[in-house]
Structures are given as structure tokens and as C-alpha cells.
Amino acid sequence: MESSASLADKLASKTASNNSLDSSSKSSSLGSKHGQNGVLRDTPFAYLDGEEDQDQKNDVTYVCPYRGPVFGALTITNYRLYFRSLPLRDQEPPVVVDVPLGVIARVEKIGGATSRGENSYGIEIFCKDMRNLRFAHKQQNHSRRTVFEKLQTNAFPLSYSGRLFAFAHAAAASAVNGGSSGWDGWAVYEPLAELRRLGVPNDMWRATKLNESYTICDSYPAVWAVPKAASDDFLRRVAQFRSRCRLPVLSWMNPRTQATITRCSQPLVGVSGKRNADDETYLSYIMEANAQSDKLTIMDARPSANAIANKAKGGGYESEDAYKNVEINFLDIHNIHVMRESLRKVKEACFPTTDDSKWQTAIDNTLWLKHIRCILAGAVRIVDKVETMSTSVVVHCSDGWDRTAQLTALSMLLLDPHYRTVRGFEVLIEKEWLSFGHKFQQRIGHGDNKHSDADRSPVFLQFIDSVWQVSQQFNNAFEFNEHFLITIVDHLYSCRFGTFLCNTEAERVTEDLKHKTTSLWTHINSSLDQYLNPLFPSFTQGAELVLRPIASVRALRLWKGLYCRWNPGLCVPQHGCQRTRELLSKQDQLFKHVNELRLKSNNRSNSMQTTTRLASPMH
């Protein structure tokens, strides 16, 4: 919580802020940001620190799927592709395309030297953010070749032995600002502080730096919270029985009931049904650490068929015979390949055009909402176990870094209001996704031209979508708004910040991202106002402490604000919260006024005891 803000500031920020939101909430958060560090040259956009021109062509046609071909100038820098049409008529605003190169999944040449027909020769760009772009070049002037080459080398630097833009950006920024300025987003998550917030260490749980050099598990964080009863050696042995040594480690604890959520990977049971006494004992420690329940629930995120099939590969699941007082549930969430395919269909349905009369069937056929429903339903089941039954839950899938992260992060969000604030959500992503080794590099394919890599999958996007769905059902339970979530998704691909780079904490430490790149949270928290939800009551707690969203397709919606945002026809302008802001501002005005009046009258009438009261900090 922000401290020492004066009353006036606090009152002003909540309302003044929000006007910036209307203009940009629906559009991309990428192009519109003119940071103070931005250098304005004679181009229509503000260059970021470290951003340099790579190529510029003045006679390119952007084949816009909505407005038809428009003629203009194309600029490629080491960060973005920028196109601006030459205005034909005075009144018409120019068509602007501003895409960070990180968003690009694939660049292809279309048409050859012999192509006939208008705009049939050029470049087609496939983006990770649900759009394709097509630029037509003139065959004669060979402009296409350099554009194509520059795009390849700058969009896929890792395939051309280059470095991602985030490094150049941070280096240039620190040269300009002379090191760190203001608040550092890398500091948002302090593992020990977060554990302390949950009440760890306590009688049953301890924090350990056993994995400080990432030797026990290279995809786990340095700091773990584990049952006190388990010694370091014991932990080492347990790790051997879990896929990739990802043994059960604490994600969240209810400070009141001590019911916990722990996460891990599948046990290495195999076809023969191997047992491991240490693993069985370890799970019983987790169960015993919660005095409220003599049971332990294991949530296996996979469909049971997949869990069984994994036995052939040496994996599998805990048998209820081997593990005492354990019940296992399968949550029926499909794997990364299914999800990738589903999102591909969503893109097909949403871009470039939609058929309104078949819209609903088209969305239905993507199965995207059904997958979201499964994830939500799984999270709600975890919430029920932890909150209602006060039973501890162990969550895993196969490796415990995709579906497991979705489930733990989402159920923590539902259970703990702290994670529904901006800072709390940042902590949640840092903790459950980044530190526990969700393979962002692999899943997104930063700077890599292998666009059909089978390891790519929109797992994290699905999580953000689920959060959005919850926020639609509980409009005033979140401190942040839709724009915040879209911004996170945009920078998931942009490679401008270090936050989503690399696969594991260990890699990030090796790469020294904390010092060589900027955190996305630095960027977001420096202009927090535009990400705040006016419906989030500043003066009351959210209505619900524990959220139980409805996991039914009837209660879910396709996130048009994200998936359909490039289609100008599909983006209904949100009438949003104008009136809410007016009311808030009115209320705050009145409060301020009353405060002043009372201060005056108090000063007049009673000089003894008034001095400290109003000067006291907010929280």
C-alpha cells in the first residue's frame, strides 16, 4: 500500500486518472505510450530508448482487410514495424500500423516476379496477437528484399545470433537516466516477504534456500516453503520421484485454517506402478501440516486418460492405495497442443472478418470457452476444498508448469483478495508463473523463427483470459481493469521488457535480466492510473473475499476486447464507467470539502487535539 500520500493526492488520483482510460482501453497498449524517455525524431512515433531505424520505405501499400489498400511509408526499427498512410483527403485520419517485432510469428513473401494483379507482390506477416498484416511492394524497385531481411533479423534475433530488444532498451535507458530511476518492478516480488504475508515460517512450514544454486531442481525457484517435518536430505530424495525433480512445494496457505495449495509434477510411477516411501511420507507431512483436515486432495489437471497414458512414459499419478488418506481428482484440462489448436480456430473466427449469422457456432466450434470453463471449474474445485473443507490440495499435471500454474494461480486469485490488486497480481505472476518455471521462452518463442514449434502454446494467455472472465463476473473485485490485462498480453510478446523472457528463474539469473532489462512492472506501475478499475471500491473491501465464479459456458464470453480488437467493426465502443467516475469525483470533492471545513472548525474550537488527526497517513 502506498503510504504518506496526502489526502488531496489520494482523492485526486482516483478520479483524475481515469480519463486517460477511455481513449486507449480498447486499443493496443503498445503504440500509444509516449514515455518520458521516448525520443521524438522527425517520425510520427516516439522512439523508445535504444530503438534504432533499420529500414524505411516510402512506397509501400498496406492491404488493410477493412479499409482496403492504403499507400504510405513503412519504417522498421529494431523494435517495431511502423506504417503510416499518406493522407489522401484532409479529413481522414491516416491508417497507422504499429507492431512490435516481438509480436511477429512468421514473415512470408507473397507473389513472385511474375505476379500479376494489384497488390499481389509483397510480404505477409503473421502475428501472435491474432492478426495478419499484408504489405504490397512494387516489383521494380526491389524494396521488398531489404524489408523482408530486416524483418527476419530483427523479429527473430535469436535465429540470427542477435539479442532481444529488451537488452538494448534497458542499456540505453540506463545510459539516459543514469541508472535506476524511480520504482523498480523487479522488486515487486520478494519470495520471503510473500511467504511471510502468508504466515510462513510457522509451526508446520519453513522456508528453505536449498535450491539456491538451482541444483536440486533447475526449473524451480531458489526459495521454497516446505513442511517443517521434511529435512533437506529428505527433500532431495522426494525430488527424485517427481518428474524433472519438481517436488511438492507450497504455493499458498490460508493463514486462518492452514489449508494449503502445493504444486508439483507427476510422480514417476510408470507402468509397473512404482512406489516411493519418501514421496508418500512427504504428502502425509503436507496433510498433517493442516490440522483442520485428515485428508489430502490431489488435483490432477489432466483428463484421466492422459494421466494413465503418461504411465507409459514413466509418469502417472498417485494411486489412492499407495497414498493414505489421499483422494485424487482429474480436472480434465487438455494439453498445450489442444489449446494451441483451439486458439488457432479463434483467430480464424475473429480475423479478418466474421460471419455474424454463424458467429456463435464458429465460437462454439473453437472449444476455447469450453477449455476456459474446465480451467475455471478446476480452480473452483480447489477453492472449495481449501476454503470450504479446509483440506489441503496438491496440484499437478505432467510437468507442473503449464496447467498446474493455471490452476494454482487462478485458485489463489479467487481465494486471496491481495492477488486481485495490481501489485498482488504482479506478485502472483512472478511467483506462480515465472519463478516456478513456466517456459515462457518456449511457449511464446521470443525472437525465434520456428513458428510451428510444437512447444508453443497459449497457456499463459488462457490464464489471463480466465482472469478476465472472473473479472467480468465480479466487476468490482479487481483493482485493475481490462486494459491492464491487455497490456500484459501485449508485452508478453513484445520483448521490450525482461519480465517474460527465458524459461526458468535459473536462466533469468544467468542472463542477469534484473540488471540488463527493465521489468514490465516498472513500466506499468509508473503510470498506474490507466490500469485502475473505477468500480473497485477504494474505501471498502471488495464485496467478496473468496470468489466462486460460475464455470459454465452460459456465464462465459469470448473476450472480444482482446481477440477481436483489430477488427474495427467488432469493437463496440465501451460506454464504460464515465458516470462512475463522475460520481467518484463528486464524492471525493465533497469529502475534501467537508474535511477542510471540519479542520477549520476544529482549529477554531479546539486547538488541543486536532493537529494529528488529519495529517495521519492513509494506511
Partner 1 sequence: MATGGSGAGSGSGGAGNDHYKRNTFTSYVAPLPGDMRATADTNEWCLPSDLRDVHLARPRLLPGEQIVASAPAYMYSPIEPMDSSINISHNNSNGNGMASVNDGGSHKEATFGLLSVTNFKLAFVPLHATSKRNPEAGVVTAPLCDLYQENTYLGRNEITLNNIDQIYTIAELGRAASALQAARMASHVSRRKKLEPFKQHNISGRIAALHIVCKNFRLLKFAFQQQDSKLSGASDHGKLIASALVRFAYPMRHDLSFAYAYREPYYSTLGPATGTSMYASKNDWARELIRCGATEWQVVSSASVPLLQNPLHAGKYTVPPHFVIPKSCTVDRFLDLSRAFCDSRAAFWVYSYGASAASLVRLAELQPAAQQDTKLENVMLELVRKCDERRQLKLLQLTDRLPSIQDVRRSYQKLRRLCTPETPEKFMLQDDKYLGLIEKTNWLFYVSLCLRYSSEAAATLRSGITCVLQESNGRDLCCAISSLTQLLLDPHFRTIDGFQSLVQKEWVALEHPFQRRLGHVYTAQGSGSGGSGSSGGNNGSELLEGEQSPVFLLFLDCVWQLLQQFPDEFEFTQTYLTSLWDACFMPIFDTFQFDTQAQRSKAVLDSQLVLRPVWDWGEQFSDKDKMFFSNPLYQRQKGDLAGAQSSAAGAGAAHRRSLAVGHNRGGTAGGASGSTPSRNTINPQLFATVSSVPQDRFLQPAHRICDLSVWDQCYYRWLPVLDIRGGGQPQVDLFHRLLLSNIAKVQRCLELQSYEELPDAYFEVTGESRSSLQKEETPVEDEAEYVDGVERRRKPTTKAGTPTNGFSPVSGNHLQLSSLSSFFPFGSPIAGDAPHQLYDILNSSSELLQDTTSILDKSSIL
Task: Output the known binding site.
Answer: 310-313, 335-336, 397-403
Among residues 356, 510, 512, 600, the one that binds partner 1 under rule CB under 8 A: 356
DSSP SS3 for 326? strand
Active site residue 127: no
Q: How far is the CB of 468 from partner 1 (least distance, A)?
A: 14
Q: Which residues contact 589 (CB under 8 A, 6 or more apart)?
A: 11
In the bound state with partner 1, the residue whose beta carbon lies nearer, of 383 and 434, is: 383
Choose the binding region for partner 1 from 171-179, 276-284, 393-401, 548-556 (rule: CB under 8 A): 548-556
Site for partner 1 in 10-69 (CB under 8 A): 10-11
Our finding on whether 540 is near partner 1 (CB under 8 A) is: yes
Binding mask 422-441 for partner 1 (x = CB under 8 A): --x-----------------
Residues belonging to the binding site for substrate are 310-313, 335-336, 397-403
Among residues 361, 510, 527, 611, the one that binds partner 1 under rule CB under 8 A: 361
Q: How far is the CB of 230 from partner 1 (least distance, A)?
A: 25
Q: Residues touching partner 1: how many (CB under 8 A)?
A: 89
Among residues 125, 369, 434, 467, the one that binds partner 1 under rule CB under 8 A: 369
Contact yes or no for 364/485 (Cβ under 8 A): no
Among residues 89, 116, 554, 604, the one that binds partner 1 under rule CB under 8 A: 554
Catalytic choice (397, 495, 564, 577): 397
Closest by alpha carbon to 61, among 53, 49, 69?
69
Choose the binding region for partner 1 from 45-53, 137-145, 240-248, 417-425 (rule: CB under 8 A): 417-425
Q: How far is the CB of 541 from partner 1 (least distance, A)?
A: 5
Does the CA dihedral 344-350-354-356 come out positive or negative? positive
Our finding on whether 295 is near partner 1 (CB under 8 A) is: no
Our finding on whether 474 is near partner 1 (CB under 8 A) is: yes
Cα distances from 171 to residues 36, 166, 187, in angstroms, run 16, 9, 19
Which strands, in side-by-side order, build the sheet including 132-136? 96-100, 80-85, 68-77, 53-64, 132-136, 122-127, 104-110
Q: Which residues contact 376 (CB under 8 A, 6 or more apart)?
A: 410, 466, 469, 470, 549, 551, 556
Could you tell me how far CA 531 lies from the centroid of its own chain?
14
Q: How far is the CB of 39 from partner 1 (least distance, A)?
A: 39
Binding mask 188-227 for partner 1 (x = CB under 8 A): ---------xxx----------------------------
Binding mask 496-535 for partner 1 (x = CB under 8 A): ---------------------------------------x
Contact yes or no for 295/394 (Cβ under 8 A): no
DSSP SS3 for 178? coil
**What is the C-alpha separation between 567 and 135, in angstroms, rounded?**
17
CA–CA–CA angle 453, 345, 574 (5° rounding):
115
Choose the binding region for partner 1 from 28-36, 169-177, 254-262, 309-317 (rule: CB under 8 A): 254-262
Our finding on whether 298 is near partner 1 (CB under 8 A) is: no
What are the backbone angles phi and psi of residue 97, rounded to the nearest 5°? -120, 120
Contact yes or no for 169/499 (Cβ under 8 A): no
In the bound state with partner 1, the residue whose beta carbon lies nearer, of 60 and 412, is: 412
Residue 113 burial (CB < 10 Å; 0-12/13-18/19+)? exposed
Closest by alpha carbon to 205, among 221, 186, 215, 192?
192
Among residues 39, 354, 451, 511, the one that binds partner 1 under rule CB under 8 A: 354
Among residues 387, 402, 432, 482, the one that binds partner 1 under rule CB under 8 A: 387
Strands (E), 428-516: none
- The position carrying cell 497480481 is 425
Our finding on whether 417 is near partner 1 (CB under 8 A) is: yes
Enumerate the active-site residues: 397
